[in-house]
Amino acid sequence: MEISADGYSGCAALARQYPEVLLFCVPPAGSKRVRYPLSNFELLHGDQGGVDCRDASFDKVICSFALHPLPLNKKLALLKEMKRVLRRGGTLHLADFDQPLRPLEIYMLRSTGYLFGPETAKPHLDGSWLNLIKQAGFVGVRRVTTFSEMVGRVAIIRARRG
C-alpha cells in the first residue's frame, strides 16, 4: 500500500511493471481520481486519519512525502494508521524531508513552515521526526540513506511492525 502527498502515478507504474503484485494506494486529499486499467492496482478510501481497510492487511507500506506538511498530532496519527494496516513483521518504507546538513537544504522545510505552520517543519528541521515513528510503535527504525536534493535533504527510512 502507498500513501503519498504527490499522487499515485508511481504506484500505478509499479503495478504495470510488476503485474503479479497486488498494489493499493490512498490518494492524496483533493486529488482527482484517475482510473488505471490495471487488475492489480486499487485505490483505497482514506486520508491521514484513517484508511478504509481491515487491520493487518498489508505486508509493506510506502509513505512518500506525506508527513512533512502535517502538524505533529496528524503525523503521529498517520504513522499509527500505517502501523495498524501492516501485518506483524511488515515493513514501512518512508521517504520525507530530513534535517538539513547544508544551507541550501533548508528551503523546502521553510516553505512547509510558511504554508502549513512552523510546527509542521520543526520535527524535520531538528531530525526529531524519526522519534515519532518509534512513538507510533514501529521497531528497527533506521535511515537507509539520505541524499541532498536542490531544495532539501531527503531521508529514506525503514521500520518494522513488531
Comparing 8-12, 19-23, 53-57, the range with the smallest average pLDDT is 8-12
Give the pLDDT band of residue 48 (cuts 50, 70, 90). low
Helix and strand numbers, DSSP H then E, in the chain: 5, 9
Give the mean model confidence (pLDDT) for residues 77-83. 96
Q: Return the DSSP state at 103.
A: G
Between CA 1 and CA 161 the distance in angstroms is: 15
In whole numbers, what is the pLDDT of the chain averaged over residues? Answer: 92
Q: Residue type at 21?
A: V
Between CA 125 and CA 99 the distance in angstroms is: 5
Give the mean model confidence (pLDDT) for residues 66-88. 95
Question: Residue 137's Cα: distance from chain center in Å?
Answer: 16
What is the reported pLDDT for 136?
98
CB 99 within 8 A of CB 125: yes
C-alpha cell at 159: 521500520
Give the mean model confidence (pLDDT) for residues 91-100. 97
Measured CA angle at 84 (ends 81, 86), to 5 deg: 115
Largest CA distance in the chain: 46
What is the reported pLDDT for 6?
78
* Tens digits of residue pLDDT in 103-159: 999 999 999 999 999 999 999 999 999 999 999 999 999 999 999 998 999 999 999
Give the pLDDT band of residue 45 (cuts 50, 70, 90). confident
Between CA 41 and CA 10 the distance in angstroms is: 11
Give the mean model confidence (pLDDT) for residues 14-34. 86
